[in-house]
Structure 1
Amino acid sequence: MHAAKLRGNAENQRGRAVESYRTVFEVIDMRSFSNLWYWIALAVVWSSASHWVLGVPWDLVQRAMRKGGQAEADFNDITRINVNRILYIADMSGLWLIGFASFFLTSILVLGWYFWIEFCQAIFMIAFPMSLVGGLSIRTARKVDASGIQGEDLYKKLRRQRLITQVIGMISIFVTSIWGMYLNLSVGALGS
């Protein structure tokens, strides 16, 4: 009798746990393109990519352009440090990073569009354009290092890098939103 009562309590607890999980998954829609958190994450990723140009915060670039002096010296120093850091990572483990990134992007591409896993599609829509920005950052770092530019020329180089990043971001957000709307409308049409 006591064992039956314990078994009944355990089943009730399992039932409550299942209901809790079900409630969480109803509140947090696990389909990526209809999930508000995905769109917030997408905005944060592109906002951060636009703000940190070669690892240098854009507000520091603006302050250095306006004030000069110590702000410009700090800007030149932090840019040199970040360029050296990016190039060190690219030179030491660049081939490994390219291999892992290619494997990862190919895997989520196949999982997303061949096996039709929406989460992988959503991750690809962020990861692929960010890999382009990463490659452009390495290219810009190599140019900055080779030319040894500072001051006004360096501002122009970082401004151009930021503009290219923003254009890639705008195209990425546009394509992602079109694809997300298509999926949400097609799922809605299937459900009715």
Structure 2
Amino acid sequence: MTLTQTLFEVIDMRSFSNLWFWIMLALVWSSASHRVIGVPFDMVARARRFGGQSERDLVDLVRINVNRMLHVAHVAGGWLIAVAGFVLSSLLLLAFWYDVEFAQAVVLIALPMGLVVVMGFATARRIAAEQPDAQTLCRRLARHRFWVQVIGMISIFVTAMYGMYQNLSVAPGF
């Protein structure tokens, strides 16, 4: 037996039984939860706790990110929706019609992250329309983060259940 055959026999290269997939899933949801519309959440906590310059920094960074997001949506929003729709529908077709396990793994990450991106744009649009004060802005960002975390928990749970099902269905005797 060659070295590569031994490695592939010892390390399963399927998506749901691969440790790197689960590490990537945790990193994706951790980073999505840490950055709320591009603003690190520790800045929100610091602005709530200390006020003053921390609040002004938060308001400035949120304004910059909201303007950036809305500009991207205005300039390329239609194209981004079309490309994202094509990619997601292609992945869904590969994943569940053609039963490609890698595509299933990517769909279970990309579909909920797409929902988080849409929520981010909706939050940015609401912030731009309302122009809230610093404390209201902190509450809005905390609420957005809460819903991102809820979507992340549901996504991780569904991915874990589906991954266990996939791993057990490959095992002999199932």
Q: Normalised by the size of structure 1, how large is the TM-score?
A: 0.86
CA distances 1:45-87 after superposition (whole Å, capped 9, x unpaired):
0000000001000111101111111111111100100011111
Q: Which one of 120, 127, 142 corresponds to residue 159 of structure 1? A: 142
- Report percent identity of matched pairs: 54
| Aligned residue in 2 for 1:41 | 24
Aligned equivalent of 2:158: 175
The whole-number CA distance in structure 2 between the counterparts of 1:96 and 1:19 is: 48
Distance across 1 between alignment mates of 2:5 and 2:133: 57
AA matched with 2:82: G
The yes-or-no answer on 1:61 pairing with 2:61 is no
Partner residue, 1:189: 172
- In the alignment, which residue of structure 2 is the partner of 1:3? none
Once the two structures are TM-superposed, the CA of residue 24 in structure 1 deviates from its matched residue by 4.5
Q: Tell me how far 1:25 sits from its aligned partner.
A: 3.4
Given the alignment of the two structures, is residue 146 of structure 1 paired with residue 129 of structure 2, yes or no? yes
Q: Which is worse superposed, 164-173 or 26-35?
A: 26-35
**Counterpart of 1:43 in structure 2: which amino acid?**
A
Superposition RMSD on alpha carbons, in Å?
1.5
Aligned residue-pair number: 174
| Consecutive unaligned residues in structure 2, runs of 5 or more | none
Distance 2:172 2:7 in 1: 25
Q: Structure 2: how far apart are the matches of 1:35 and 1:92? A: 39
Aligned to 1:124: 107
Structure 2 distance, partners of 1:89, 1:22, is 47
Match of 1:30 in 2: 13
- Asked if 1:75 corresponds to 2:24, the answer is no
Matched letter for residue 19 of structure 1: T
Higher RCO (C-alpha 8 Å, min separation 6): 2
2:13 equivalent to 1:51: no
1:150 CA drift (Å)? 2.5
Quote how far apart the aligned CAs of 1:141 are.
0.2
Bigger CA radius of gyration: 1
Structure 1 unaligned blocks of 5 or more: 1-17
